[in-house]
Structure 1
Amino acid sequence: MPIVDKLKEALKPGRKDSAEDGELGKLLASSAKKVLLQKIEFEPASKSFSYQLESLKSKYLLLNPKTEGASRPRSGDEAQARRQGSERPCGSDGVPAPQKVLFPTERLSLRWERVFRVGAGLHNLGNTCFLNSTIQCLTYTPPLANYLLSKEHARNSWGWGSLHINK
């Protein structure tokens, strides 16, 4: 007998006439204890996990399929791959080098240089709460805060929309 049926049977309205909430609470506690102490019998799954996995895989489109070497990439893809390979060589970890370096890594400090007061919050314009929370979290990380407080970003102006922070 499934646990749902056992709970329904234990909590039948006609089982005890109790008008008070305290009585109902006691009835519920005793019934739940009785049901939870009973042995639960499990049944094997009617379909295997691999079937479920295959049905889930069929719902989604793989954006970057791994090629086994059997299929040849289109000419446009090949030219783009060559351009990317010549511009940004991969490091030992497989991550390509950045197109633009904002701050030299040897001058980047991963620790707090000084203790600062908590900064001001950001104003929510109705649809920016996730962006605001992300920016606020990032500005409380030592590398980004030290970079912004170094005023290096003001010297390297990249045009409209550059990020500025005040002490």
Structure 2
Amino acid sequence: MPIVDKLKEALKPGRRDSADDGELGRLLASSAKKVLLQKLEFEPASKSFSYQLESLKSKYVLLNPRPEGAGCPKSGGEPPAIRQGGELACDGDGDGVPAPQKVLFPGERLSLRWGRVYRVGAGLHNLGNTCFLNSTVQCLTYTPPLANYLLSREHTRGCHQGSFCMLCVMQNHIVQAFANSGNAIKPVSFIRDLRKIARHFRFGNQEDAHEFLRYTIDAMQKACLSGCA
């Protein structure tokens, strides 16, 4: 009996086990072996991958193309000159995208390591469903590039925000956290300005930590851009 007929017979409702089941198992094992050990033949592609890259390039249009050799020096050359006020003297690097008119924070000053050794900062009290806020603020507090900049108090010396400033709030918290090592503090400044960080957030509600992080970073960016305009 072919294997297909044996399977149909074995799958009939109400069928009892029989001596033929052993033979069915052997047939299934033999069939599976043929399939699994079957040799797969691969053929080379009819068109090379470079053709696909060229077709993808044709989808995009370069704005303001520049002749070769013009613009800023390539990587490995001299860095672009910076005028007073942080403005770049170079107009671009040859890719058609203009260089930024002002550098808010030079890349060479950015450090992924701590500027000095600090003791572990303060913990945070949960003021009622504020675990989303506490966890986010703690992560930002122990992000070395951000903490190094805010602990230098450089931002507040040049801040022109008249009212709410997310960077000032963050700086005050980080300074207070490292000044109270071993203790726990209340993140009241974030709670007070919670509606300014995100208008739909409500104190006492269970909010999402990732959403709060995104709104906090956006608020810090807005404070940085408006303060340096």
- TM-score per shorter chain, which class? 0.3 to 0.5
Higher relative contact order (CA 8 A, sep 6+): 2
Return the index of the structure with the highest Cα Rg.
2
TM-score, structure 2 as length reference: 0.35
TM-score, structure 1 as length reference: 0.45
